[in-house]
Chain A
Amino acid sequence: MRITTNRFGRIDVDPADILHFPSGLPGLEGCRDWALLADSDNDALGWLQSTTRGDVALAVVSPRRFVPDYQVRIPRSELTPLALADMRQAQVVVVVGKTDTGLTLNLKAPIVINLEARTGRQVVATGELSMQYELTPQRPPLKKSA
């Protein structure tokens, strides 16, 4: 199917690739069907594009790539609707936001996608996690002196 988007122009999406979020997303409850697009400039970044609203897209990343010590714990009741047979079927991404000072990640409310069933849900993770985790440049690991 072809969808018209504000950011990426017209794109073709295979209906089999569409991700269904039965509850929508908080604040975007009406957006239940999404396509996950790879960003052409940055392989660390994806865009969840609503297939019904061309103006709605969320930038998402794999959190471990930016926050290596991020350990996500999600209550079982939050995962039950996704009917995951195996956690290896699950893809966890977090939403990228922007404040006056820079880019942020919502670590408190990751999005869990069941890759087999093509369903998804934004969940609330357990513990003290920021909804506006500020990204800071990662320093390359220091080389040990010889």
Chain B
Amino acid sequence: MLVLSRQRDESIMIGDSIVVTIVDIRGDKVRLGINAPTEIPVHRQEVYEAIQRENLRASRLEPGDTQDIGKFSGRSNNGQAHPPEGPRR
């Protein structure tokens, strides 16, 4: 891993389009400012990994698992289209 020392208000560049700035340092907490093109998602690592785990777990769901989901639903959607029209299976 590349390790660089930086002070407050200093930045590093990743490629030519991503800038990470040290905004504030307080005790063991560092605040970072990140400028990146909109197509590059920026996440806290532990949050991203939790979403990955959730999506992978959810992708194993089968139609049989959701048969009874209707009983958890509180109200109709007042004619609002949901889910958006798509081919019915």
Chain B residue numbers with a CB within 8 Å of A27 are: 51-56, 59
Q: Which of B62, B65, B75, B84 has the most CB of A within 10 A?
A: B84
A98-119, CB under 8 A of B: which get 1 and which 0? Answer: 1000010010110001010000
Residues of chain A at the chain B interface (Cβ within 8 Å) = 7-9, 11-14, 17, 22-23, 25-28, 35-47, 56-62, 65-66, 68, 77, 80-81, 91, 93, 95-98, 103, 106, 108-109, 113, 115, 122, 124, 131-132, 135-138
* Cβ B61 vs Cβ A98 within 8 A: yes
Neighbour of A93 across the interface among B71, B75, B83, CB < 8 A: B83
Distance in Å: Cβ of B14 to nearest Cβ of chain A: 17
* Chain B: number of interface residues, binned into ranges: 35 or more
* Cβ B75 vs Cβ A38 within 8 A: no
Complex: A36 Cα to B83 Cα, angstroms: 8
Chain A residue numbers with a CB within 8 Å of B89 are: 7-9, 11, 37-40, 47
Distance in Å: Cβ of A111 to nearest Cβ of chain B: 10
Distance in Å: Cβ of A79 to nearest Cβ of chain B: 9
B42-81, CB under 8 A of A: which get 1 and which 0? Answer: 1100011011111111111111011101111111110000
